[in-house]
Structure 1
Amino acid sequence: MTEPSHLPYGGIATFARAPIVHPGSDWRAFAAVLGIPSDIALGFRPGARFAPRALRDASLRYVPPFSGLDGRVRLDPAQYPDPLMVDAGDVVLPSLEPELARGRITAAARLIKERCRMPIFLGGDHSVTYPLLRAFRDIPELHVIQLDAHLDFTDTRNDTRYSNSSPFRRAVGDLPNLVHITTFGLRGLRFDAEAVAAARARGHTLVPMEQVEAHFQDILSALPAHRPVYLSIDVDAFDPAVLPGTSSPEPDGFTYALAMRLIREIVRRHGVVALDVVELAPNLDPTGRSELLAARLIMETLAEVFDAEVFDARE
């Protein structure tokens, strides 16, 4: 048999079997995946460095085209003249040189951003979001929407300014175009009071988990519409009964259905310029369901962006 295998356990594990490219080579696509296999900034259980590879393996379950119960084909590469998606591999990171690593992450993200409409970044712990955001400093009035159990706005932790507790504190200090952050899903017992006060003083929107569903439409209606949004999803936003494979799980989080309902509304109301998915630790979930859920989340989010900008425009 000469045709490539479409079974999930066969073939080379690029993300959703997308063709592999070098970030700086001559290519164009609607979406591009870039892995950032780093977890040196974690304060608790390690393992997020293994996430990009695990997500690629899990994504083979969701190779497009596919359709829902309504029979509508989604993410069909034939609908788009250029490649729907490419896989740009992983950033080569010097594990004990964090400043050099941040520079390489930013440089690679810029190359991806220049060549595709929808960059998708596979973390890695949440500290990688700061150097990723630096690649978007040219976008005026950039908004971040963050799904997360934790605020990640701490100034320092254990004398460290670049941990996974601080990516957004570093970003707002460095990026004058980053005008607002909205965080959905906050909960738990370990909040930094100074970080909460600093975020509120800057005008950020902090939405505890118990308010997300109870005041869903009111919260969304209060957000500025039609703004460029960088969407950052920390998988600990999910309830650990749904997704246990993460360093710092918190009870009473998102269901998958509620998270996708929120993401769908964000895509429809805003222009999502990029997506990152961080803090997945596949070694902490021997069942493998955590990476399957996260890979599906990426594919469904891409489908929403694609439908909003390409498919619906042709109807």
Structure 2
Amino acid sequence: MKQPGEQPAHLPYSGIATFARAPLRDLREDWHADVGVLGIPFDLALGFRPGARYAPRALREASLRYVPPFMGLDGRTRLEGVTLADAGDVALPSLEPELARERITQEARGLRGRCRVPVFLGGDHSVTYPLLRAFGDVPALHVVQLDAHLDFTDTRNDTRYSNSSPFRRAAEELPDLVHITTVGLRGLRFDPEAVAAARVRGHTLISMPEVQAGLADVLERLPQEKNVYISVDIDGLDPAVVPGTSSPEPDGLTYAQATALLAATARRNTVVGLDLVELAPNLDPSGLSALIGARLVMETLCEVFDAGN
């Protein structure tokens, strides 16, 4: 029987949809949590199908299926005692992308000051550039990027700030962004200049054939004992697993491969931030893509806190 003042146990389809039922917090107020979540409903920088602006809301709704703590088949409890807070969405101007980038960076800095592990729900992949600007004070920063595409293009369609360019802009601006490891690369459409520029800078580029040839070897090529920002482009996964994305590429990562990559990254490094981008829930009426995205976030957080980050 529910005691006086006790909160009801909501089913996934009821109640207010904050991420994993975390309390809603205002970044203008003073608070602290182990994990802070910030939505970035922005998709003005896409080159193909729109819809990523709807992802933060869809991920929050899907996350109601995955409210910690979690009890595994082995009896282990995960994320018990870990506090979560949902800081809502960045208030973005609809047609002012430069101002949008400034606000994203400002709000990301605010979130960093209030939590141990900030989680960002995009949005198209262009938002990772202003997010990384908020980590400019992190020494020797490494990025692990799960993605079908390199996203290191200098310009596309006369713009330098599309979802094809976030890591190029970040590498230019942030002297302490020392390395990027990109896993899952595939497709017919690569920019030769971008590939050459990434290789000259020493980035690690890992294609899907390499993953398929031996995941264990790929795991050994991930950073170790570094400060790592994780950026998960949902199109890194195979579209048979996640169809709801702007630019799907066949023959991508399986869910098991993606979680193995994220787990190895989290266990061996200090994770300073995490984003999930390019989910377009409008392109998947089943809702499966949003469920997969929300679960990837929760699985990664499990690994981060299991590792004691």
TM-score category (smaller protein): over 0.9
What is the aligned length? 305
Q: Is the CA contact 2:215–2:257 (under 8 Å) kept in the aligned structure 1?
A: no
SS of the aligned residue for 1:62 comes to: coil
Deviations 1:73-116 (A, max 9, x none): 11122xx5xxx110000000001111110000000000111111
1:42 aligns with 2:42: no
Larger helix share, 1 or 2: 1
Deviation at 1:65?
1.6
Q: Is the CA contact 2:222–2:265 (under 8 Å) kept in the aligned structure 1?
A: no
Q: Is the CA contact 2:223–2:265 (under 8 Å) kept in the aligned structure 1?
A: no
Deviations 1:263-313 (A, max 9, x none): 111111111111000000000001000000000110111111111117xxx
- 1:73 corresponding residue in structure 2: 77
- 2:260 corresponding residue in structure 1: 261
**Structural RMSD (CA):** 1.2
Q: Which runs of 5 or more structure 1 residues have no equivalent in the other structure?
A: 311-315
Could you tell me how far apart the structure 1 residues matched to 2:93 and 2:86 are? 21
Deviation at 1:213?
4.0
- 1:55 corresponding residue in structure 2: 59
Deviation at 1:24?
3.0
Per the normalisation by structure 1, the TM-score is 0.94
Deviations 1:193-214 (A, max 9, x none): 1100110011100000111242
Could you tell me how far apart the structure 2 residues matched to 1:113 and 1:177 are? 17
Moved more, 58-67 or 213-222: 213-222
Deviations 1:158-185 (A, max 9, x none): 1010000000000001100101001000
- 2:167 corresponding residue in structure 1: 168
- 2:29 corresponding residue in structure 1: 25
Deviations 1:188-247 (A, max 9, x none): 011001100110011100000111242333333344420000000000001000000000
- 2:284 corresponding residue in structure 1: 285
- Percent identical among aligned pairs is 70
Deviation at 1:69?
1.1
Q: Is the CA contact 1:4–1:11 (under 8 Å) kept in the aligned structure 2?
A: no
Instruction: Give, as a single letter, the amino acid of the residue that structure 2 aligns with 1:112.
Output: L
Aligned residue runs from structure 1 range 147-186, under 5 A: 147-186=146-185
Could you tell me how far apart the structure 2 residues matched to 1:309 and 1:87 are? 22
Could you tell me how far apart the structure 2 residues matched to 1:270 and 1:123 are? 23
Q: Is the CA contact 1:5–1:11 (under 8 Å) kept in the aligned structure 2?
A: no
Q: Which runs of 5 or more structure 2 residues have no equivalent in the other structure?
A: none
- Equivalent of 1:6, from 10, 27, 39? 10
- 2:302 corresponding residue in structure 1: 303
Could you tell me how far apart the structure 1 residues matched to 2:280 and 2:299 are? 21
Q: Is the CA contact 1:32–1:87 (under 8 Å) kept in the aligned structure 2?
A: yes
Q: Is the CA contact 1:230–1:273 (under 8 Å) kept in the aligned structure 2?
A: yes
SS of the aligned residue for 1:57 comes to: helix
Instruction: Give, as a single letter, the amino acid of the residue that structure 1 aligns with 2:269.
Output: H
